[in-house]
Amino acid sequence: MSKLASQGYRWLPLKEAWDSLPEIDTSEFNELCPGYEGVWCRYLWTTTYFQQFFKDVVIVTHGPLSCVAAVKNFKQTHYSLHSALPFAHSPCTNMDENAVIMGGTDILTDTLRRVDQEYRPKLIIITDTCASYMIHDDVDAVISELKPEVEAKIVYTPSPGFAGVQCGKAVEAMGPLVASLFDPPSKIDQNGVNVLGLYYDTRFTEAEGRKHGGNTEAYVHLIEGIGLKVHRIMNAGDYDYIRTAAEARVNTIHTAMWGYPVAQAMEEKFGTPWLKRQLPMGLEGTRNWVMDLARFMNREEEAERFVKAEEEKLAGLFEETKKWVDGKILLVECSRNSQAKYGEMLAYARLGQELGMKPYVYCLHPVEFKSQRDDLMAVAEVEGLNPPVLMGPYPYHQPVNVEDVMVDLGVNGDQCLYIYDDVFPYAKSGSFDPSTVARYTTSSQMKRVKGSSFLGVGYAGTAATYLGMIESIKAARRKSKPTFFGRVWSSTPFEFQFADQKERTRS
C-alpha cells in the first residue's frame, strides 16, 4: 500500500469524486477533512471583486479597519502590482468596540456623506463585515435616509465574512449583486458580446502600456476574428461601462466560477442569453469556444475560416509539443487550498490531454471542490472532461507531496510534466527540481508572458503554453545544477551531496 493510500487518499474520476462528497459545512465533511476553514472569507472575496471596478466607483466598508487591511494586504499588492488594477480608495467606517455595542449606523451615515462629498463617485458599493452584520446594523435604512441628499447611487452588497468562507459559495452569492448594478437595456447591440468571469484583471492592454497582457487581447482577437464586437469585459471599468453591460446580445464565459453566477442573474433579470463554455485554451478548447459563439450568432462560416487560419499558424508548434510530451503524464497540482477556481487547472489538463498526456489532478481540497459546482458543470458536463482526482483528508489544508504522488502512480521524473497553481510549487534539489523534472508555471499569480494572456487563453496564450512546456522539458534534461529555490528547500543543496547520498544508499 502506498503512503498516500495508507493516509486515506484514493484516485477517483472527477465526476465520481464530486458525487462522493457530502454537502459542505456539515459534520460529516468536518470528519472527512479536519481543520478546513477556507483561506479568505466572503467579505474579502466580495470587496476585492467589486474593487475591480475603478475610476468613479468607491467601495465603502462598514466594519473595522482591520477588514480593509485584509483586502489591501493582497488587492493593493499583488492584484495592483501584477494585474494592472489601479489603487482602490476604500474608505471605512472604522467600527470599534463602542460601535459594536451601540450600533454603527451613525458612523456609516457620516462616512457615506463624506465619501459622496470628497470622492464624488458615481457609484458607492457598501460591503459589510462580520461585526456590522452580526449586530444587525440596518444598512438599507441608512441608504434610504441618505438618498435625497447624496449624488452617488448607493448599492448594498451584504458580505459578512463568516457567511460562506468557501470560495464557490461566496462567489455564487455575488452574481445577483453584480447584475443589480446594470441598467435594463434600452437597446441591444446585435453584434455585441460580453465576456464574464474575469477576476482581478482589467481590460487594460499591452498596446495601452501594460507590461504583460491580461486576457482582453485574447478575447478581442477571438470575437473580432469572427466579425463581432466585444461589448463589455466583466468585472472591469467605470460606472458608465458597467451599467450598460446588459446591452450585449450574448454573454460568453471566461471562468465558470466567476462568470456563471453573473450570467445566470443577467438571464433572469434581462433575458440575456449565455454560452457555457469557459477558458478557450488549447486548439480544441479554443475552437469549441469560438464555434459555440459563432453558432449562436450565425457566423459559422467566418468562424471556420478564422479558426482554420489560426490553427494552421500553430500546427507546427502543436506537433512539436506533442513530440516533446510524448510518454509523459501531466501532474496537475491545484493550490493547497484550491480557493480560486480549479477550472483553470482543469483547462490546462484539457490542453495536456489534447497533446496526448494523461492528467492526474491532486491537492484539490474536497471542500472547495464541492463548493465550486459551476466549475464542475463547465468541466464535466460542458467539456466532458473526467480526469482522475486524488481525494482524501487534506487535514488542516496540508498538501500532499508530489513525490508521494509519483510513487503512488509508479512514475519517475522523466515521465512527468508538473504544473501548479497559486504560490506553493514544490522543489527540492536532489530529488525534484526544474533541473530534473519538467515544471511549467501555470499559476495565474505567477505566469506572465509578453504578448500572451497570463491565463493562457486564446491562440497567443495557447502558443505561449506550448512553448513554455517545451522549454520546461528541455530545462529538465540538464539533470544537474539545481535551482536556487530547490536548493533552499532541500537538505541536499549541493551536488556533491547527491553523490554522497547515492554512495550511502548503495552501501
Partner 1 sequence: MMEVLSPTKESKMRDQFQPGAFIGSIFITSGILDTVNVYHGVSGCHAMAQHFRGDQTPNGGYVPVVGTGFLETEAIMGGAGKLEKTLRDIAEAQSLVKKAPQCIWISMSDCPAVGGEDIEGVARGVAAASGVKIVAIENAGFKGGLARGAELALCKILDETVQPYEGEREGINLIAPFLMGSANWPFDIDHMAEMLEAAGVKVNLILSRNLTFADLRRFSTAEANLLLSYDEMPDFIGKSEALGVPTLIDDPVMPFGVGNTEEWLINLAERFGDAKKAQRYLLDEMGQVKKILQRNYNFSWMASFLSDKYAAVCGYAPFAAAITRYLFHDLNIRVKVVGLWSETEAGVQKAEKVLEPLSDSLDFTVLENPTYLQLGEAAKRANVDFAIGSIQDKPLFRGYGIAHLNLGGFYYFNNYNFVPWPLVGVKGSLRLFSEICSKVVDEAFYESEAWKQLAFVPGDGAEV
- Cβ proximity to partner 1, 69 vs 499, nearer residue: 69
Q: How far is the CB of 100 from partner 1 (least distance, A)?
A: 5
With binding defined as CB under 8 A, does residue 39 bind partner 1? yes
Residues 88-117 that bind partner 1 (CB under 8 A): 89-97, 99-100, 107, 110-111, 114-115
Kindly state the smallest distance separating residue 209's Cβ from partner 1, in Å. Answer: 10
Smallest distance, Å, CB 300 to partner 1?
36
Stretch that binds partner 1, among 10-18, 69-77, 297-305, 463-471 (CB under 8 A): 69-77
Return d(Cα 10, Cα 28) in angstroms, integer. Answer: 18
| Residue closer to partner 1, measured from CB, 159 or 444 | 159
Q: Are 164 and 127 in contact (CB under 8 A)?
A: no
DSSP code for 208 = G
User: What minimum distance in Å lies between the beta carbon of 450 and partner 1?
Assistant: 15
Smallest gap from residue 480 Cβ to partner 1 (A): 25
- Among 36, 50, 362, 426, the residue binding partner 1 under the rule CB under 8 A is 36
- Rounded CA separation 276/256 (Å): 8
Phi, psi of 109, deg, nearest 5? -60, -50
CB of 189 to partner 1, least distance (A): 32
- The nearer residue to partner 1, 41 or 245, going by C-beta atoms, is 41
Q: Please identify, using beta-carbon distances, which residue of 2 and 30 lies nearer to partner 1.
A: 30
Q: How many residues does the chain have?
A: 507
Q: Per the structure block, which three cell numbers stand in for 368?
A: 472547495
309 binds partner 1 (CB under 8 A): no
Q: Sign of dihedral through CA atoms 53, 59, 65, 66?
A: negative
Under rule CB under 8 A, residue 126 binds partner 1: no
In the list 43, 204, 418, 454, the residue contacting partner 1 (rule: CB under 8 A) is 43
23 counts as binding partner 1 under rule CB under 8 A: no
DSSP-derived letter for residue 192 is E
Looking up cell 509539443, which residue turns up?
321
Q: Which is nearer to partner 1, 368 or 408 (CB)?
A: 368
Cα–Cα distances (Å) from 443 to 173, 366, 433, in that order, read 25, 20, 17
Q: Nearest-CA neighbor of 217 among 15, 451, 433, 434?
A: 451
Contact present, 233 and 219 (Cβ < 8 Å): yes
For residues 424 and 31, what is the distance between their CA atoms, to the nearest angstrom? 26
CB of 314 to partner 1, least distance (A): 21
- Rounded Cα distance between 217 and 388, Å, is 33
**Contacting range for partner 1; rule: CB under 8 A; set: 154-162, 218-226, 251-259, 345-353:** 154-162
Please give the Cα distance from 377 to 375 (Å, whole number): 5
Cβ(165)–Cβ(40) below 8 Å: yes
C-alpha cell at 97: 468596540
Q: Does 256 bind partner 1 (CB under 8 A)?
A: no
The burial class, CB within 10 Å (0-12 / 13-18 / 19+), for 303 is buried
Q: State which of residues 4, 53, 72, 438 lies at the interface with partner 1 (CB under 8 A).
A: 72
Size of interface with partner 1, in residues (CB under 8 A): 62
Least distance from C-beta 36 to partner 1, angstroms?
6
For residues 396 to 435, the per-residue mask of contacts with partner 1, x marking binding by CB under 8 A and - elsewhere, is: x---------------------------------------
Contacts of 93 (CB under 8 A, 6+ apart): 60, 61, 62, 63, 99, 104, 107, 108, 110, 111, 132
Which grid coordinates belong to 507? 552501501
Out of 3, 10, 13, 65, point to the residue binding partner 1 (CB under 8 A). 65
Q: Which of 19, 28, 31, 37 binds partner 1 (CB under 8 A)?
A: 37
- How far apart are CB 78 and partner 1 at their closest, in Å? 8
Omega before residue 235 within 30° of 0, cis: yes
> Contact between 63 and partner 1 (CB under 8 A)?
yes
Q: Which stretch binds partner 1 (CB under 8 A): 27-35, 227-235, 344-352, 424-432?
A: 27-35
- Which set of grid coordinates corresponds to residue 324? 516533446
Q: Does 130 bind partner 1 (CB under 8 A)?
A: yes
The yes or no reply on residue 484 touching partner 1 (CB under 8 A) is no
Cα atoms found within 13 Å of the Cα of residue 383, Cβ hemisphere only: 33
Matching residue, cell 492592454: 205
Rg of the chain on CA atoms, in Å:
24
Is residue 115 classed exposed, middle or buried when 0-12, 13-18 and 19+ CB atoms within 10 A define those classes? buried
x-marked contacts with partner 1 along 156-195 as a string, rule CB under 8 A: ----xxxxxx------------------------------
Binding stretches for partner 1 (CB under 8 A): 25, 30, 34-44, 63-70, 72-73, 76-78, 80-81, 85-87, 89-97, 99-100, 107, 110-111, 114-115, 118-119, 129-131, 134-135, 160-165, 395-396
